Chain A
Amino acid sequence: MRFDKPRHFRQSMSWLHTWAGLVLGWLLFAVFVTGTLAFFRNEITTWMQPELHSARDDGHGLERAVAVLERKAPDAQQWSINLQGPRSPVMNLSWREAPAAGERRSAGRRGEEGGDADSGLEPPGGPAGRGEGHRAQDMQREGRGDRPEGARAEGMQREGRGAGGRAEGGRGEGMQREGMRADNAPRQEAHTGGERGPGSARPQRGGEGREMAMAAPQAEPAQAEARQQGGQQAQNRLIMDPATGEILQPRQTAGGNFLYRFHFELYGMDRLTGRWIVGIATMFMFVAIISGVIVHRNIFKDFFTFRPGKGKRSWLDAHNATGVLALPFHVVITFSGLLLLGFQLMPAAVLTAYDGDTRAMAQEMRGRGNANAPLPRPSGEKAALTPLAPLVAEAEREWPMQGVGAITITNPGDARATIEIRQARTEGLSSRGAARRMVFDGVTGEVLERPPVAESSAASSAWNLMTALHMGRFASSLPRWLLFASGVLGSLMVASGLAMWVIARQKDREALGRTPRGHRLVEVLNVAAVSGLLIAIAAYFWGNRLLPADLAERNLWEIRVFFSVWALAALHAIVRKYKAAWVEQLTLAGVLAMLLPVLNGASGGVHLGHSLGAGQLQVACFDACALVLGALLMFAARKVSLHVPRAKPGTKSRPAGASKAKKAEAVDELAAGLPVALKTEEA
């Protein structure tokens, strides 16, 4: 099709669909795959720390947690306990030392600042949390090394990041927040962090904290640095087996967090640059999806059409089916991806409305949430802490669906102690960021308050609905698996689209008798980006187990394994022929994935036979998924190897004089399902 000739609207859309999908399609595939895995990033991190696999829950973890905290941090100002749950087998304990006399004020102030910075910009319902100081501290704690980046300098202080160049994988959400801040953009996705926590700022923080802690157990020295740099109080954390009270020392790992961060800011570049690149790719995806819908007008009919074993037709059907089956997911995930980066990608709105002052916007939005009360001061009188279990039981009765995610105890051991309990997940889709809380008196155990969740306006509800679906923070197991499955379909859609570009031009190459350079480039990129990425991800998990557990910068080495293997796969794709490269790489990816459960059992993890029986579902599901996906990859490899391009006698052949370009276009349009009449008209 040529734009200098008259043409039908749908032909234009078909062209647009093809090229908008192709030019950044390889990147989009990587974003889709890693983003899909990120739905289970906590579980992936758990798998990658076999030291945690045998932790279990006997229902008395809370008492043990309090005992540990009393032993380790008797004078702390605040204790936090993130409970074990369906997404994590361990309890995460952390505490915040009481500030020295002169420091209290400034710590408080700083905390508040952290508060605006984050919470406000959480557009909808506003931040539910009040303990802003806590938040700022978390950030600080999270900071264990990262690449030094000029753009971030501003946030440094809050963040208290350790020395540069380390702990890449474990980059904290704090940094993300900070990045946004440096950029002066609202921290829309400050909360993209801790999946595990409910929507509100704090619980999430808890979730992040967990991840951080898990990712870098050897964070001590860095923490010391952070303390020095930031001049703030230290925050300490421990991971505890709920059933034994044992403090676990998991290995350092980049974990699921690396995949999660890669999916929206890539790696090895300034994070804002990465976000711009992913944002632009997302816009291409959005255009490709909508133009695809326009082209495939007979969307429902197409959906029920599958013609296996028919070469290009089958690919087209597969592309349509995967596209249409999860079409609402694709549209929402793409659009909400734009929204999540929206304040950065579309700064014009904040520019006119707030003179570009995102802090001002943060503050205004925060005004809608709960006021941030200062932490209550201790009375100085000693008093025993009330047992936590009955309070948690009461909260569980209040929120039977969401459950309890985290507990914060302020001024433990003091007569003015308070205990705050937060939901494990948010309640509705439209109230992202608004997990409910209950506050109890720490001595008597009476309910002091049930802070209301701020109402969302129509605009913020719409926004929240989108972004909440993207992040799945509301999701219990079933919706999470549905999101995961939709992500897999999306990945298949992108991959089949890429493969189709090559297949649709088969006849050109036959007519030409060789493969033009552009086609070869697409072939190589297809193999490297699709099967190469899958091998790299599998290798990343292998690296997690094969690298020595006490290796310095272990998380960085895991990431190096990932990228080195990906580069090798790309080389292989260059050296080998297209079909051979596909078969070999898909086979390798399948074998690597299918052997992961074996590796897990052999390298300190809980193997599948045991994890299923013992209810270690996070680990068991990872292994089962690896088996199933690996088997599917092997199946795909077999199908490709058996595939013989069909000579098609009797298919309508173009006049001999037709240009090669025209043939490719014709095939494209056929692929797009355009009526033959249109094509002849064009000819």
Chain B
Amino acid sequence: MSTSTHFVFFADHRPWLNVSLRSVMALFGGYGLASMVAATLAVGLPLPRPDAVMTAIMLAFLVHMLAALWVFGAATLTRAAAGLAMPAALLGLWLWLLPVGATA
């Protein structure tokens, strides 16, 4: 498994910093992404509101768990971060595009 030299960050070479950053990403980044999932799906799913909220919360916990696996499984820190940031950005876009009425 070779890493593309392109996206290797200096912290990738420092074992302690590497692990610490991954832990922070898994804990807080994972929670942030999960919260985005919860926030977006709660209004974005075409379900009655309470159902959408419950589904959103269930999926949010799954996403947090998967995010943690992803962050520690990713080859480089950059990839780990991108894997959290991109879905979060897409969810943010979705949430932003949702009609205002849907959130009432």
Which residues of A are interface residues toward B (Cβ below 8 A)?
2-4, 6-9, 12-13, 15-16, 20, 123, 283, 286-287, 290-291, 294, 335, 338-339, 342-343, 346, 348-355, 361, 364-365, 368, 457-460, 462-463
Contact = CB atoms under 8 A, between A and B. Distances in A.
Given A3-B19, A291-B72, A335-B61, 15 more contacts: A12-B73, A16-B72, A20-B68, A123-B50, A283-B64, A342-B57, A348-B42, A349-B42, A352-B39, A353-B103, A354-B49, A355-B103, A458-B51, A459-B54, A463-B54
A466 to B, nearest CB: 8
Contact of A6 (B1, B34, B48): B1
Given A286-B65, A349-B60, A460 B1 contact: no
Please provide the 9 A-B residue pairs with the shortest distance between their CB atoms, ordered closest to farther: A349-B42, A459-B51, A349-B38, A353-B42, A348-B39, A348-B35, A348-B38, A349-B56, A352-B39
A361 B49 CA distance: 8
Contacts of B24: none
A364 B49 contact: yes
B88 interface: no
A346 B35 contact: yes
Interface string B72-86: 110100000000000
Nearest to B75: A6
Contacts of A20: 68
Greatest chain A CB density within 10 A among B49, B57, B73 is at B57
A97 to B, nearest CB: 36
B47 A459 contact: yes
A5 to B, nearest CB: 9
Nearest to B26: A287
Given A13-B69, A348-B39, A349-B53, A7 B61 contact: no
Contacts of A13: 69, 72-73
B72 A15 contact: yes
A349 B61 contact: no
A352 B43 contact: yes
Size class of B's contact patch?
A: 35 or more
A376 B77 CA distance: 66
Contacts of B95: 352
A485 B58 CA distance: 26
Contacts, number: 119
Contacts of A335: 61
Contact of B55 (A7, A291, A459): A459
Greatest chain B CB density within 10 A among A12, A349, A365, A368 is at A349
A123 B58 CA distance: 13
26 contacts: A3-B18, A4-B13, A4-B15, A4-B18, A6-B2, A6-B3, A7-B1, A8-B1, A12-B73, A20-B68, A123-B50, A287-B65, A294-B69, A339-B57, A339-B58, A342-B58, A346-B61, A348-B42, A349-B38, A349-B42, A364-B49, A364-B50, A457-B47, A457-B51, A459-B47, A460-B54
Nearest to A337: B61
A373 to B, nearest CB: 22
A355 B34 CA distance: 18
Greatest chain B CB density within 10 A among A6, A15, A459 is at A459
Given A7-B1, A283-B64, A457-B48, A349 B69 contact: no
A287 B68 contact: yes
A218 B65 CA distance: 47
Contacts of B26: 287
Contacts of A291: 69, 72
Contacts of A286: 61, 65
A16 to B, nearest CB: 5
A343 B55 CA distance: 12
A106 to B, nearest CB: 29
A123 B50 CA distance: 7
A349 B41 contact: yes
Nearest to A365: B50
A351 B95 CA distance: 13
Contacts of B18: 2-4
Interface in B7-23: 12-15, 18-19, 22
Contacts of B73: 9, 12-13, 16
A432 B35 CA distance: 26
A15 B69 CA distance: 11
A339 B69 CA distance: 20
Contacts of A6: 1-3, 75
Contact of A346 (B47, B60, B72): B60
Contact of B53 (A8, A355, A361): A361
B65 to A, nearest CB: 5
A328 to B, nearest CB: 16
Contacts of A12: 72-73
Nearest to B35: A348
Contacts of B53: 349-350, 353-354, 361
B34 A123 contact: no
A230 B50 CA distance: 32
Nearest to B47: A459
A458 B54 CA distance: 10
Contacts of B40: 352
A220 B73 CA distance: 59
B39 A351 contact: yes
A185 B48 CA distance: 19
B93 to A, nearest CB: 15
A16 B38 CA distance: 25
A462 B58 CA distance: 9
A9 B74 CA distance: 8
Contacts of A9: 73
A353 B58 contact: no
